[in-house]
Amino acid sequence: MIDKFVRSMAEAMNGIADGATVLIAGFGDVGSPNALLEGLIEQGATDLTLVVNSAGRVRKPGQPAQGAVARLIEMGRVRKVITSFVRANSVAGEWVKAGRMEAEVVPQGTLAERIRAAGAGVPAFFTPTGADTLVAEGKEVREYDGRRCILEHALPGDVALIDAWMADRWGNLVFRDSGRNFNPIMAMAGRLTIVQTPHVCDLGQIEANGVVTPGIFVDRVLRVPVHEPALPE
């Protein structure tokens, strides 16, 4: 019997190795797998490469790091971030300026497409985004229909941390409104895809047309209760 539900955070995080590339879904706090990130902190993996839309919040002088990504960085467990935005006055910005962490800044649409390409089995693609800018340095350039385009490579992860609205035991996932964001494409691009969700259901309760991410892309599902209204019967 296929049953992808795990019973503990330790079971969910098991096997994440030092040096792993970790895809972290979410747009700010929306659709972010915050519980799994706390689990990653506890699990202890280090020398990580984090792929995340934004590399952390502004930190005011004298304040501790806010959010799990910033705390992982401040703990010295992140070697590199691949992101669309690094705030200068954030923990990530401080570490990059000090030469203590590497950062690869990627246009947001290109970041999404690199992840989507990995999940779709596309090794690379050409895009006009970033042509004739710093983004293009060291990359192959070709011209298509009179537009200069640069070669970008797919961006898979050793691990993908995902936040879903609902899951069944086969790992079929549903997302809610803007919480969908990077979650479906990262779920497809992770070699090990771990999902947190507040709602679990029996097989068949998710209509076939309502499944956003099929369970074939999911390895583990952990129920993380939250204080939200109960679903209608």
pLDDT at 129: 97
Sheet holding 141-144, edge to edge: 124-127, 147-153, 141-144
Q: Which amino acid is residue 155, in one-letter code?
A: L
Residue by residue, what is the 3-state secondary structure of 82-125? EECECCCCEHHHHHHHCCCCEEEECCHHHHHHHHHHHHHCCCEE
Q: Is residue 164 part of a domain?
A: yes
Q: 53-63: string of b/e by CB count within 10 Å (b at 16+)?
A: bbbbbebeeee
User: Residue holding tokens 């330790």?
Assistant: 10
Cβ(186)–Cβ(160) below 8 Å: yes
pLDDT at 140: 97
Q: Count of alpha carbons within 13 Å of 132, Cβ hemisphere only?
A: 4
Q: Is residue 143 part of a domain?
A: no
pLDDT at 61: 72
DSSP for 196-225 reads EESEEE-TTSS-GGG-SB-GGG--EEEE--
Q: Is residue 30 part of a domain?
A: yes
pLDDT at 230: 52
Can you give the pLDDT of all 233 residues of the chain as single tens digits? 899 999 999 999 999 999 999 999 999 889 999 999 999 999 999 999 999 998 877 777 777 777 899 999 999 999 999 999 898 888 999 999 999 999 999 999 999 999 999 999 999 999 999 999 999 999 999 999 999 999 999 999 999 999 999 999 999 999 999 999 999 999 999 999 999 999 999 999 999 999 999 999 999 999 998 755 455 55
CA distance 1 to 4: 10
Q: Is residue 69 part of a domain?
A: yes
What is the count of structural domains for the chain?
Answer: 1
- Kindly give, in sequence order, each residue whose CB lies less than 8 Å from that of residue 203, ignoring residues fewer than 6 positions away: 168, 169, 170
> What is the CATH classification number for the domain harbouring 77?
3.40.1080.10
pLDDT at 233: 52
Q: Is residue 212 part of a domain?
A: yes
What's the CA angle centered on 172, arms 114 and 168, to 5 degrees?
145
Q: Is residue 134 part of a domain?
A: no
Both structure tokens of 70: 């910033």
Q: Is residue 139 part of a domain?
A: no
Q: Which of 2, 25, 6 is nearest to 157 (CA)?
A: 25
* DSSP letter assigned to residue 178: G
Q: Is residue 229 part of a domain?
A: no
Sheet holding 102-105, edge to edge: 102-105, 78-83, 48-52, 21-24, 157-163, 190-197, 220-223
Domain with 63 in it: 9-123+155-223
